[in-house]
Amino acid sequence: MRPTRTVGTALAALGLAAGAVLAPAPAIAAKDGGGAYDVPATQALTWPLPAGTTVVIDGPANVWQMRDFAESVDAALPGVTVVSGSAVEHPGAFVVTIEKEHRRSGTFAGFTKWRTMGPGESYPTGATITLNTYFRESPRSTRRQVAAHEFMHVLGFRHHAGDGITGAQPPLTLEPAPSPDEWTALHAYYG
């Protein structure tokens, strides 16, 4: 199927968006990278970052308002700090590298891939979020939802059956926010 740049197609692409390849130590691993929408939102935080982690967003200035979303999460959660910068500026931080890539096939709007310490290691040292510029002409609410969705994967969310940013039926708004159940899971872990 060749996607168009419609809201519906972008939402379908969100269903394919997570590619986390991490078997986390602190919780039950979603070995499929969170692809299946088969758990409730309150159980979807399955590979959280260690409490107290500093997350650095490193990449182009315009990343579909991902930094705005990340700052709102940072303000609400004492157990994680989100900043913009680079690994050089923030040694030891969890660096999220943002890339933009154009894939005409449009198979995904966004994709998150974890970086680990080395072969056989499951502890994450960072992540790369790839945003498909094929969708750059999608409505602003769609692009913002994609960016927020991918950042929720960085925080450890897999796809879930409930409402919310990583849920099966994400709301499309200009100011995406975690659902009450997603907030419950985030606060239970990150404070």
Q: What is the pLDDT of residue 28?
A: 29
Confidence of residue 27 (pLDDT cuts 50, 70, 90): very low
CA distances from 91 to 55, 65, 116, 125 (A): 11, 25, 16, 11
State which amino acid sits at residue 123. Answer: Y
Confidence of residue 105 (pLDDT cuts 50, 70, 90): low
DSSP for 25-49, written as a single string: SSS---TTTT-S--S-GGG-B-SPP
State pLDDT tens for residues 55-85.
999 998 889 999 999 999 999 999 999 999 9
State pLDDT tens for residues 132-169.
988 888 899 999 999 999 999 999 999 999 889 999 88
Residue with tokens 């985030």: 186
Q: What is the pTM of this model?
A: 0.79
Q: Are the C-beta atoms of 144 and 110 separated by less than 8 Å?
A: no
